[in-house]
Structure 1
Amino acid sequence: MKKKVSVIGAGNVGASLAQMIVQSAIADVVLFDIADGIPQGKALDISEACPLWGSSSSILGTNDYSHTENSDVIVITAGFPRKPGMSRDDLLHANAKVVSDVVENTARLSPNAVIIVVTNPMDVMAQVSLKVSGFDSRKVIGMGGVLDSARFRTFVAWELSVSPEDVEALVLGGHGDLMVPMPRFTTVKGIPITELLSKDRIDALVERTRHGGAEIVSLLKTGSAYYAPAAATYQMVKAILFDEKRMLPCSAYLDGKYKTNGIYTGVPVILGSGGGEKIIEIELNEQESIDFEKSVAAVKLLVSKLNS
């Protein structure tokens, strides 16, 4: 019997993710949205592509939460997208209500699921999801670091004219403008980029990574990124479904690690069937610690705004 993934939100990110899962035939998909006809139409379109992909996976488009029952993974992409001039943080209150409703309606039907939160501001929405679901914190994780690291990898590969496959990158902290790309832990076939690029060039790539989402929003004008966010989420879904024990940068609940308590933020995590099974703690130097603390403080501020 195939695994079941429920994707909540049939917008660009959700539909792209659903396509990737079905095309690769790693699970059956339920695509949920409150908009009548949208998930049904997109699911039908994807279903009709399955013979061409050679995929035996099924996809159901629905407006009924009951169809998500007994999901192995629930991915929350529902919410309002960023527009030009908006930060991820501007979406705080509106998306908190959306995410609360989604979790309330899905968690009770799939008590053994792992929840992946994509909706922005993602770290805070993960915190909301944990509180509403009542799940173990390892079963609620946020997608941010995988995407941010992929952007950093892309920019490094372009700068050095190498294959992005050969670049490994690490980005810590909140999924926002104060995220912390880590040049010391970013390598090309094991060679740190600090050995390959000047500090000025590295600093420029770090800044572009921090504003990578806003760059795409400003170009699109009517929406935000979706191909790379969907691909990043797919990597996480696959790691969970196949118990791959992948070490990926994800937003995880810190309860003492990195000198941080009671907050979600991006750190290296071992992803497997149990969700974020283990947080990997690395030694930060003085500047990295300062930057990480600033990023965590920004997430804490948003959480306090939401609770005030």
Structure 2
Amino acid sequence: MKISVIGAGFVGATTAQRIWEKNLGDVFLHDIIEGMPQGKALDMMESAPLLRVESKIVGTNLFEDCANSDIYVITSGLARQPGMSREDLLNRNAEIASGVAENIARFSKNPIVIVVSNPVDVLTYLVALKTKLPKNRVMGMAGVLDSARFRYFIASELGIAPQEVQAMVLGGHGDEMVPLPRFSTVSGVSIEHFLSNEKIEQLIKRTRDGGAEIVQLLKKGSAYYAPSAAILEMVESIVKDQKRLLPCSAWCEGQYGITGQYVGVPVVLGKNGIEKILELPLREDELLALQQSARHVASNIKKLNLS
């Protein structure tokens, strides 16, 4: 497999490292800043004898080197700063994502594309439009990260191992995300049996504010360890055709009453990208929250004046 990570900042470089160390394929790390991707790639390759990694990682400033990649991961763009929302990044990152998408269309025939740059649901729509790829081969990373944060907060509150917790967070990646307590479990038992409604609401709020909390603590920059781990989970499911059930920003065509829209929903992720969307039996209030989240994403797409 040839996997290209576009953007060699904190998220991109850490993602490249995780994918490379897992031996999922040869990794190409691209950035427009001369020397940066080459230096980071060389630093990683010098650890290959110690880590016994057989794949290679190459840093480059030339998009041609990423030609014919099986998977592209787009992390390029501006990072959030304290006080900024994901929507504040809209216009600048849309310009960057548009250029990347045009290069993908130029240099690759039928890759799978994972969009990470914020606002992720909007940019996933833009990348799908610009690349003209089948919608199942373009997706956004958000739900895996949001669910991981929710899982960690639940585990921390209960004092149990995080791997014992499963959770599902749907909707757009932002304040309109929709954590689903009914579908969040501890070894198969709903968290509603362990936590009060008040405590669950507190954990939901912290999940929605998860990225902002880290931005505030760091002062400069945003999260990259958890996002890169979430990307790795998606890439591994595709490369190994694991058919994992993961929440991703996916193109809906009537599912959950949402049409012509990228939004976070549960998908089966395999070698062909998004192989199916699963429709959970949502209550009316849950469904309305998901549809409201989709409308919020749609309102931001309109700001790009793409039509």
Same fold (TM over 0.5): yes
Counterpart-to-counterpart distance in 2, 1:222 and 1:107? 33
CA distance in 2, matches of 1:261, 1:290: 14
Give the corresponding residue for 1:17: 15
Aligned counterpart for 2:41 among listed residues 38, 43, 56: 43
Structure 1 gap ranges (5+): none
Aligned residue in 2 for 1:90? 88
The total of aligned residue pairs comes to: 306
Alignment of 1:269-284 (within 5 A): 269-284=267-282
| Equivalent in 220, 226, 229 of residue 228 of structure 1 | 226
Q: Distance in 2 between matches of 1:52 and 1:108?
A: 37
The equivalent residue for 1:194 is 192
How far apart are the structure 2 equivalents of 1:108 and 1:240?
A: 23
User: 23-32 or 117-126: which moved more?
Assistant: 23-32
Structure-to-structure mapping, 1:125-204, within 5 angstroms: 125-204=123-202
Supply the AA of the counterpart residue of 1:254: C
Spell out structure 1 runs of 4+ moving beyond 3 A: none
SS, match of residue 307 in structure 1? coil
In 2, distance between residues paired with 1:194 and 1:297?
28
Normalising by the residue count of structure 2, what TM-score does the alignment of the two structures yield? 0.98
The AA in structure 2 aligned to 1:11 is G
C-alpha displacement at 1:239, in angstroms? Answer: 0.6
Q: CA deviation at 1:290?
A: 2.1
TM-score (norm 1): 0.98
The aligned residue for residue 7 of structure 1 is 5
Other-structure match for 1:261: 259
Q: Do the aligned residues in 1 keep the contact of 2:257 with 2:291 (CA within 8 Å)?
A: no
* In structure 2, C-alpha distance between the alignment counterparts of 1:130 and 1:6, rounded to whole Å: 17
| Cα drift, residue 112 of structure 1 | 1.8
Structure 2 unmatched ranges of 5 or more: none
Pick aligned residue for 1:240 from 233, 238, 241: 238
CA distance in 2, matches of 1:290, 1:254: 15
Give the aligned partner of residue 65 of structure 1.
63
1:180 to partner: Cα distance: 0.3
Distance in 1 of aligned mates of 2:109 and 2:207:
36
Percent identical among aligned pairs is 53
One-letter amino acid matched to 1:215: E
| 1:239-294 residue CA offsets vs partner (Å, 9 max, x unmatched) | 11111111100000111111011111000000001101100111211221221122
Classify the secondary structure of the residue corresponding to 2:279: coil
Deviation, structure 1 residue 107: 2.6
Q: What is the aligned counterpart of 2:117 among 116, 119, 131?
A: 119
2:256/2:291 contact within 8 Å kept: no
How far does residue 299 in structure 1 lie from its aligned partner after superposition?
Answer: 0.2
Q: C-alpha displacement at 1:108, in angstroms?
A: 2.6
CA contact (8 A) 2:115 2:124 kept: yes
CA contact (8 A) 2:147 2:167 kept: yes
Secondary structure in structure 2 of the residue aligned to 1:214: helix
Q: 2:130 & 2:233 partners in 1: Cα distance?
A: 25
TM superposition shift of 1:88: 0.4
Q: Deviations over 1:38-80 (max 9, x none)?
A: 0000000011011110101101100001111111100000001
1:186 is displaced (CA, Å) by: 0.1
Instruction: Give the match for residue 29 of structure 1.
Output: 27
Whole-angstrom distance in 1 between the partners of 2:228 and 2:192: 30
Match of 1:252 in 2: 250
Amino acid at match of 1:222: K
Tell me the SS of whatever aligns to 1:10. Answer: coil
Whole-angstrom CA distance in 1 between matches of 2:133 and 2:288: 31
Whole-Å Cα distance in 2 between the matches of residues 228 and 63 of structure 1?
26
Query: SS of the counterpart of 1:123?
Result: helix
Instruction: Give the structure 2 partner of residue 301 of structure 1.
Output: 299
Q: Structure 1 residue 218: deviation in Å?
A: 0.5
Q: Distance in 2 between matches of 1:228 and 1:101?
A: 26
